[in-house]
Chain A
């Protein structure tokens, strides 16, 4: 890092320092607008061309009591001049809008980190609310950090004194003051934020003016105050050329579902019952009627999946979106779909369980349920996205399997990818998979007149999709066991055995891409195997090790059922296999059971993603012992 001096107009000399990466955490009360502040900072950063990864963290309560620890909401953004994999383990900068935000986040800060605090909120009353006996700004409890005390609220109110806004509205603009200050500190382009404010408050011009003024006051404060002597720059990252947008997993997944409708030419039907953290997908899809997407807020999760299955039966792409508790309710209907052999997409945005658990926190503990959580032998395909942008492609892949193989597919997202965001290289629509299907239109029996609803395509093992309205193909299907080919009710023992095995084979033989191994040194003896949202932290940990001269291989499962054909071979090629999961070892159990591999299961269920550092430390131990 080469410090460089720049003369500012105001006469204050500011250093400009180059950084390769920064992690900032905005934290405040849930009413302080921290998610919005973080979002805007992210957007400015994206415009600049840095690689980004973000992580929001908010309370389950809509408005927890103000100023309390449970009421703290935060947004972390990691940006760099190279490609990054996670929102960062530890913030370099904490913006704490009140004592609760400071107290709740301090433990995550490394020594030497910058802390920007809103001193106006450090009143005796607010300090007492979170159990501070003394003001930490006054004693030396923060001695290890670089503290920047800023009277954010009063300076904002002061800056808006000339404007026609109430004191309350003026105070509420303090998050824009903070954003202005941070935007100055990190040399962010701010035009998009000003445009955003114009859009957001279009109906209340006085608020547009107030928020813009607050933003500028924050920017100017940075430029003139002596407390901030250094200004930073993070150069654009080298990323593949193309058009990008910053996207959350839930938004990408929604667009993937819309795209699946377009690419299949089928109407999309979504049945859903609101549940955190999946509701945003319902909200998003309900906006796309123009593209033939029909959404229904059902009376419960059972009705939601039932309606989706009914729509599939009628020739639509039937989808249901939910979280773990909802999947539990849908289980019986998913088994029906297995018996009916109809396409159906079930999206599970996992959250910490059991029961209501921690609805806004992440976990990967629904894998067992996805793979095995049904009565009878009821296999389905299971897919998990690895990052926010990957949710788009995972949704398309899930739709492809559901439509081609006429089966329910479970898509296992989680709160971490669902609400996290990263830059997404926008795909060319024409390059997306062609998902067109053919409905049955004529009898398929040898006599040329009978229709056999369970006569299979020899290649895909899929049965014909004969939708109501097709003359001559009238037939009945149901949950009772069906005779092979005719689909008539059958209690024949040999037939049941055959059908159970066939349904298993249908899933097991779906061709999925081989798993790829990343082992740049080529001599790794330890393989880290992950699935779903742990991709980023595992990747970052592996990089860390490699930078220190240690060899480690990484492989990540997208297809959990069926698993890639080469997986057994890959696992056998390493002395040790380590499986980090945000559960108590669900994939590890499957791998051990299927491949007789003595995998090391590393687990954490704190409701938070792994940090790269903890994985790196753990892996280093493993490497020492091989």
Chain B
């Protein structure tokens, strides 16, 4: 095989001519810039890249990308993208969605896209609020959240998006943060390399309706004690000088955080994103508390499973192999099949 030709694209090539219309200071800007800067790395011609979104502030994203794009309807992007991916395996299809879009109205499509392992890169911009409709609580808002629609606090428990994706047996699950461009791009890179569904939760600040939702993970003074940066093959430690670590206590079901000093080195879990059993990544997804302490970011899981488009395309190819008749001839014999009779 010949080496792919370097396309020499730049971030600018991925900027569309449309004026970006998010609120000043919105985390979506940072994500857009990070994605546009990352895209040339794919070395895929722009015409073979498609962004499909639902509805929400986040879902305006495709308008700003100089690729093919569809801003569809609320919650349905994974379904639409599934039809596109299944019939056009030559394309690189990205889904951009919000916490309401993906987890409320579109929850069903999301889990089924992940279960099918459709070859989609799904970027969920989680601001834990409904931005576009001006500030109602969302399925990722904390219990007791006071919003316009919940003046005395929301009564229902939130989804943990990664736990949900893992429950659907997503083959790739990662998390990153709008403000950390380098990290964001590293997760995008891993997602793009993954064959099948890649689910990436991006913590995104909505400075108008839920400002500071992820401050603990961003404030240089405290973030290191909150963030667990997952690195495949590395023992999971975090905090100043790695003072905390993650262990799997004997007899327990999940993972726990301990003081590194008091933990034998051999007890510290070495991160392995390729563990087939989703229970491991699920346990990682359960580590954070309500105060966002112990929040892992990075690639939780990346395992191999045939993607939906490849399986269905193989079925088509197998059915067609050895066929010598033209489609018209095949159609003629199909129409003439069964019990026929002739009248002269």
B18 within 8 A of A: yes
Check A314–B331 contact: CB distance below 8 A.
no
Check B343–A479 contact: CB distance below 8 A.
no
Contacts of B48 in A (CB 8 A): 468-469
Chain A, 300-321, contact with B by CB distance < 8 Å: what is the 0/1 string? Answer: 1011001111111111101000
Check A478–B344 contact: CB distance below 8 A.
no
Chain A, 280-311, contact with B by CB distance < 8 Å: what is the 0/1 string? Answer: 00000000111110101011101100111111
Assembly CA distance A290 to B55 (angstroms) = 37
> Which one of A46, A243, A303, A427 has the highest number of Cβ atoms from chain B below 10 Å of its Cβ?
A303
> Which one of B82, B320, B343 has the highest number of Cβ atoms from chain A below 10 Å of its Cβ?
B343
Assembly CA distance A476 to B52 (angstroms) = 9
Contacts of B339 in A (CB 8 A): 43, 46-47, 192, 245-246
Contacts of B334 in A (CB 8 A): 255, 258, 288, 291
A165 within 8 A of B: no
Assembly CA distance A306 to B79 (angstroms) = 5
B330's partner among A267, A291, A307 (CB-CB below 8 A) is A291
Contacts of B88 in A (CB 8 A): 314-315, 468-469
B4 within 8 A of A: no
Please report which residues of chain A, range 217-272, place their CB below 8 angstroms from some CB of chain B when the two chains form the complex. 236, 239-246, 255, 258-259, 261-262, 265, 267, 269, 271
Q: B341 CB to closest chain A CB, in angstroms? A: 5
Chain B, 197-232, contact with A by CB distance < 8 Å: what is the 0/1 string? Answer: 000000000000000000000000000000000000
* Residue in A closest to B62 when the chains form the complex, CB atoms: A476
Assembly CA distance A299 to B82 (angstroms) = 11
Check A426–B336 contact: CB distance below 8 A.
yes
B87 within 8 A of A: yes
Check A469–B47 contact: CB distance below 8 A.
yes
* Residue in B closest to A342 when the chains form the complex, CB atoms: B70
Please report which residues of chain B, range 288-344, place their CB below 8 angstroms from some CB of chain A when the two chains form the complex. 312, 315-316, 318-320, 323, 327-328, 330-332, 334-336, 338-344
> Which one of B71, B91, B335 has the highest number of Cβ atoms from chain A below 10 Å of its Cβ?
B335
Check B72–A314 contact: CB distance below 8 A.
no
* Residue in B closest to A430 when the chains form the complex, CB atoms: B328
List the 6 closest A-B pairs by CB distance, nearest first.
A478-B71, A310-B83, A307-B83, A306-B79, A289-B319, A303-B79
What are 22 of the A-B contact pairs (CB < 8 Å)? A242-B342, A258-B331, A259-B335, A289-B319, A294-B86, A294-B87, A306-B79, A315-B88, A333-B73, A333-B76, A429-B328, A429-B335, A468-B48, A468-B68, A471-B45, A472-B47, A473-B47, A476-B16, A476-B18, A478-B72, A479-B55, A479-B73
**Contact A244 B84, CB 8 Å, known A291-B331, A489-B63:** no
Contacts of A475 in B (CB 8 A): 68-69
Check A243–B336 contact: CB distance below 8 A.
yes
B62's partner among A290, A336, A478 (CB-CB below 8 A) is A478
B327's partner among A47, A241, A291 (CB-CB below 8 A) is A291
Assembly CA distance A312 to B82 (angstroms) = 12
B39 within 8 A of A: no
A89 within 8 A of B: no
Contacts of B76 in A (CB 8 A): 302-303, 306, 332-333
B108 within 8 A of A: yes
B175 within 8 A of A: no
B154 within 8 A of A: no
**Contact A303 B335, CB 8 Å, known A241-B344, A289-B320:** no
Chain B, 23-66, contact with A by CB distance < 8 Å: what is the 0/1 string? Answer: 00000000000000000000001111010100100000011011
A488 within 8 A of B: yes
A550 within 8 A of B: no
Assembly CA distance A271 to B84 (angstroms) = 12
> Which one of A300, A340, A468 has the highest number of Cβ atoms from chain B below 10 Å of its Cβ?
A468
Check B320–A336 contact: CB distance below 8 A.
no
Q: A230 CB to closest chain B CB, in angstroms? A: 27
Check A313–B84 contact: CB distance below 8 A.
yes
Check B82–A303 contact: CB distance below 8 A.
yes
B80 within 8 A of A: yes
B181 within 8 A of A: no
A480 within 8 A of B: yes
A166 within 8 A of B: no
Check A269–B83 contact: CB distance below 8 A.
yes
Check A309–B340 contact: CB distance below 8 A.
no
Contacts of A315 in B (CB 8 A): 87-88
B3 within 8 A of A: no
A477's partner among B46, B71, B338 (CB-CB below 8 A) is B71
B194 within 8 A of A: no
B341's partner among A47, A291, A427, A478 (CB-CB below 8 A) is A47
Assembly CA distance A258 to B331 (angstroms) = 8
Check A244–B68 contact: CB distance below 8 A.
no
Check B71–A476 contact: CB distance below 8 A.
yes
Assembly CA distance A332 to B76 (angstroms) = 10
Check A289–B79 contact: CB distance below 8 A.
no
Check B83–A290 contact: CB distance below 8 A.
no
**Contact A307 B70, CB 8 Å, known A299-B108, A471-B45:** no
Assembly CA distance A265 to B76 (angstroms) = 28
Assembly CA distance A241 to B332 (angstroms) = 18
Assembly CA distance A311 to B80 (angstroms) = 8
